Chain A
Amino acid sequence: DAKTTQPTSMDCAEGRAANLPCNHSTISGNEYVYWYRQIHSQGPQYIIHGLKNNETNEMASLIITEDRKSSTLILPHATLRDTAVYYCIVRVHSPSGNTPLVFGKGTRLSVIA
């Protein structure tokens, strides 16, 4: 699976949009981009994933560049409860389940009042 690069930490003012970047310059054509977050010491929580089109759900938006070498997770109106470590993961689609997700160190987002 392609490797990802994320900033170690970021701050965001409460109510503002949080834009979390991820670089995956070696991504291949059949690899998806996944985003998870981990609040404090809870289990990670799935946020969103995409292949090449931008995606939006109730939690966030995922913007993938046209060359697919980078992406941005957008939390449109960050709240204090969005303070967490955010993980960007690249992986092939694997319905059989034999290609597990590999987590890096992620970005620690601090939302500040």
Chain B
Amino acid sequence: GAVVSQHPSRVICKSGTSVKIECRSLDFQATTMFWYRQFPKQSLMLMATSNEGSKATYEQGVEKDKFLINHASLTLSTLTVTSAHPEDSSFYICSVSSRAGYTFGSGTRLTVV
């Protein structure tokens, strides 16, 4: 499958600040990337579908203004958690769909203190 790089792997930030998470498709031009959120001992919940050159498609219940997604190129999608609060603490994972299937980034553990 595609090679996906996600950074940072772990971040601790103060409440009220913003955090940007990057997802790079290293060997595949991804027109679509997916962002998931995973709570402890729970499944991955789709947050949004990131579309290159256009607006992201958000799942019901996900705040667009809080979770800003930018997919400006075929190799990079970013998720910015704005004005983070402790309840935003979670594990965020991106995914790329290619002809070989789905490949996931290694995830970002966000802790808001």
A binds B: no
Which residues of A pack against B, CB within 8 Å? none
Hey, which bits of chain B sit against chain A, CB under 8 A? Answer: none
